[in-house]
Amino acid sequence: MNLLPQKILDQLAANGQANFARIQAGEDTIDHPPVVKLFTPDGGATWLLSETEPDDPDIAFGLCDLGLGFPELGSVRISVLLAHRGRLGLPIERDLHFQADAPLSVYAERARDAGGILA
């Protein structure tokens, strides 16, 4: 399975470009829904990614939860996620059934309240 198919990469890039354009215009950024959910099948880490940096598509922004009870909004390198292996040697997987039902900020609020990503 391809962790991030081109369709997902294109949507992440489009969201990043949209926010870059808004920043350049002095406008507020868009609170995009997550495009993809990634997780460690042999651990508690989860990532909900909403966009990539226009000048470096290897950097994605989203809600990151390493399974320690402290989910946070931030950036992660996609290449690091692709190379990561969990404690049983398993690679990160994509939740094939994930469909966002809210903007990223709502997921972040839910995760802070629960101590982890619930999506």
Average pLDDT over residues 70-95: 95
The predicted pLDDT at position 1 comes to: 56
Beta strands in the chain (DSSP E): 36-39, 46-53, 56-65, 72-77, 93-94
Q: Which residues have C-beta within 8 Å of that of residue 3, sequence separation ≥ 6?
A: 38, 81, 82, 91, 92, 93, 94
Residue 104 above 70 pLDDT? yes
Amino acid residing at 33: P
Q: Mapping DSSP to helix (H, G, I), strand (E, B) and coil, where does residue 44 land?
A: coil
Residue 71 above 70 pLDDT? yes
Residue 73 pLDDT grade (very low, low, confident, very high; cuts 50, 70, 90): very high
Nearest Cα residue to 4 out of 101, 63, 92, 72:
92
What single-letter DSSP state applies at residue 110?
Answer: H
Look over the chain and give the mean of its residue pLDDT values, rounded to a whole number: 95
Residue 25 pLDDT grade (very low, low, confident, very high; cuts 50, 70, 90): very high
